[in-house]
Structure 1
Amino acid sequence: MIHTELDAAGVRDPSLREAYRQCRTLNARYGKTFFLATRLLAPRQRPAVHALYGFARFADDILDDLDDPRTVDQRADQLQQLSTRLFNALVEKQPCGDDPVLTAVVHTARKYDIGWDLFDDFLASMRMDLTVTDYPDRASLEKYMYGSAEVIGLQMLPVLGTVVPREQAAPYAAALGTAFQLTNFIRDVDEDLHRGRVYLPADELAAHGVDRDLLRWCQANRRTDHRVRAALAEQHARTREVYEKAKPGIGMLAPASRPCVAAASTLYSEILDRVEAMDFEIFGRRATVGKPRRAVVAAAGLGKSWAARIRHGSV
C-alpha cells in the first residue's frame, strides 16, 4: 500500500521513499484515529499527511517520554537543535542529513508551500511544555493551542485543498485543530497530571471549586469529585461549541478531502460522547471509540471518498 501511495505522490527517490515510509509507520502506530481518517484521502495526499504527523510526533516525544532521564535543559537543547535543523533545511536549503522525519517533512513543506512560520509557532508551543504546567485562563491556553493545534490544521490545508481561497478556510481548519486538542485535554486529565500538567483554564476550574490539589485527590482515589464533574461538563460544552464553529469549514475543502476530515471530526467528537457516557469518571479510565465504531465510520467515509474522487478525477 505504501508503494502505491508514494507512486501516486510522485516520490521516486529511494531514500525519500524510505523517509516517508518511516513517517507512515509512526502515524499507524501512535495516531490510530488520525491514521484511519488519513486512509480516506487520495493515495497521493497520504505521504504528506504522514510526514506532518511524523514531525509533530518526533517533537512531542522529546517532551513526553517519561522513561527518558534527560533534564529540562537537555530537552530544550534537543528541541532547539530540531528547530535549527529544520530552519537550515527549509529556509537555508541545506541538506537534511540522515534524519528520515526531517527529510520527509521538508519535502512536504516545499511541495505544498507550507511556510516556516507554522513550524516555528508549533515548536514555540512545544518549548512551553518544558516549563509551563498550568494555564491561568482561556487566553493563555489559546496562545499555547495556536502553536500546538491550530497550526496543524493550517499545515494540512494545502494538502487537503480548498474550493475557496485558503485564507477563507483557514479559521475553520484552525478551529478543528483546537477542537481535537481540547477533546484530548478533557480525556487525558489523568494522564497529563502524571506529567505534572493541567491543560484546562485554572480560572474556569476555580469557578467550580476545582484546583490542582482536588484533581490530585481524584487521581489518587480513582473517582471524580462532583465539583470536578461540573467543571469537566462545562469544558465539554465549550468544546462542542468549537466543533460547531469548525463544521462549515469541511464544505470549503476539496470534495475528495471532505470524507476524511468529516470522519476525523466524527471520531474525535465521539470521544466526548464517551467521556459524557462515563459520567466524567476519567481517572483510571480512558475514553475511547471502539474498533467496531471506527470501522463503521471509516467504511461510510470510504464510500463517500471513492465517489468524490471518481467524480472529480482525483483517484
Structure 2
Amino acid sequence: MNFDVFVTCAVTGAGDTVGKHPGVPVTPAQIADAAIEAARAGAAIAHIHVRDPETGKASRDVKLYKEVVERIRASDVDVVINLTAGMGGDLVLGSGERPLPPNPEGTDMAGPLERLAHVEALRPEICTLDCGTMNFSLGDYIMTNTPSTLRAMAAHVQKLGVRPELEVFDTGHLVFVKDLIKEGLIDDPAMIQLCMGIPYGAPDDPLTLMAMVNQMPPGAVFSAFSIGRHQLPYAALAAIAGGNVRVGLEDNIYLERGVLASNGQLVERAVTILRAMNCRILGPREVREKLKLVKHG
C-alpha cells in the first residue's frame, strides 16, 4: 500500500474523443486551462498532448506545445509538466491483401529526434516513452516503437535532463524497461506508468496488474491506470498495489454512467477516494523531490 500518492491528469490525449465529449480540450488555451484546472483540483502532474485546433485531431506541432507550456508556466498554479513523445510512431497498414504501402490516413512515422523536437525546445520536467510496439485496438493500426528508436530517444532525453515516464502496456515492455536501465539509459529513480485495459495490451484485472507490479525494477516509482469505466476504481487499486494514480479525459470521459466529466472533476473524485483511504496527496514540489526532477523554464 502506498500512503503518499501523487496524481497525474492526462488532460486530452490523441484519441477520437472530441466528437464524443464537447469538454475535451482542443486548442492550446483549452489544454493549458485543463492542466491548470487539474492542478487546482489536486493533480501534481499534467500529462499533455496537443491537437490541431481546426480538426481536433492529434498533432505534434512544436508551436502548439510551446503555447500550451508557456500558458501553464505563466499561470499562478504550479504543476509538473509531462509532454507526450508518443506521436510519430503511428503506422496504419493497408487492409486485406495490400498491407503496403501504409495507409496515409492515420500514419505518422518520424525519427527519434524528430519525435522529441518539442521536448528539446521546451524542456519539460517529464516526457513519455512508449516502451514497445503493439496492436492498439481494432483495425490495421500499430503503435510502433522499435528498440533502436527507443534507445535513441532514451539517450537524447537523458542528455536533455528530462525524466522519461516509461509507458508499459504489456509485460514485454517491462522487460525492455529493465534493459534500458541495465544499459544506463535511465537515471534513478525509474518512473514507470502501467497502462492497463487497452486492447491488445495487458488487461486491467487485479491479477495481471499485480503480476506486473511484482516485476518492477528495484527502486522504481510507478503509477497505474485503466481506461474507461475502470479509471476511477484504479485510483484505489493503484495505491493498494503500491503505486500512484492517473486520471483524465485522455482515458475516460465519464464521471459516472451517463455523466460527462471534466478533468478537474476526475481529479477531485480520485483525491476523494485516496483521502478516504487515509492517503496523503503529494504536491508538485514533493513530486520533484521524489523523482529528482529538473525544473526548466
Same fold by TM-score, threshold 0.5 exceeded? no
Q: How does the TM-score come out when normalised to structure 1?
A: 0.31
Q: Which has the higher contact order (CA 8 A, sep 6+)?
A: 2
* Structure with bigger gyration radius: 1
Say which structure is richer in strand.
Answer: 2
Say which structure is richer in helix.
Answer: 1
